[in-house]
A = this chain, B = another copy of it.
Amino acid sequence: MRISELSRRSGVPTATIKYYLREGLLPPGRATAATQAEYDETHLRRLRLVRALIGVRGLSVSATKEVLGAVAAHAGERHQVLGLVLGARPVDEDAEPAPGAPEVDALIGELGWQVSEHAPARAVLGETLETLRSLDEEVSHAALLGYAALAERTAALDLDQLDPQADPVDQAESALLRTVLLEPALLALRRLAQENESARRNT
């Protein structure tokens, strides 16, 4: 397809596609004339992944480029690709791990979870627990284990919905969109369920 059709099908303006081509976020098309190139489904798919990384995960163009390079290097390895795209692991595995919370490290150890030392969610969890503690709203260890067990079941449900026939890059794109975009829905369900549970306990 021409760049105009790639633009139409992806919803990304032609000028933006040209910018991504110059920056190397999209591989060049097959040249059909001095100023024309043909693009195919792989370009469309890559373009959607780029848009998701920039628009949904908020990555910069250069960070997106690094993630895509790392995805390409592990294209056949489903877990690697998922981990890279979901931001659970950084591009540079030799980088210093984020400053962790000992409490979170201990929890993950106790749960037996296989999670990169670099996962940004470790720090988010630690900071949130610290904030609650500073407001005299400590979350007990038992409650934390309860929330973790529910998170395990949520994650299993998330992954169950991925198409096992899809190629790893498509699957990663889908996982990325669902991870981030489902968040408000899961929080809304919790608030609705709280109201219901509160009503139920008072009747």
* Residues of chain A at the chain B interface (Cβ within 8 Å): 77-79, 82-83, 86-89, 108, 111, 113-116, 119, 121-122, 124-125, 127-129, 131-132, 135, 137, 139-140, 143, 146-148, 150-161, 174-175, 177-179, 181-202
Contacts and interface: CB of A to CB of B under 8 A. Distances in A.
| Number of copies of chain A assembled together | 2
A138 to B, nearest CB: 9
Contacts of A184: 124-125, 127-128
B159 A201 contact: yes
A187 B148 CA distance: 10
A174 B137 CA distance: 7
Do most interface residues of chain A lie in helix, strand or loop, or is the interface mixed? helix
B192 A151 contact: yes
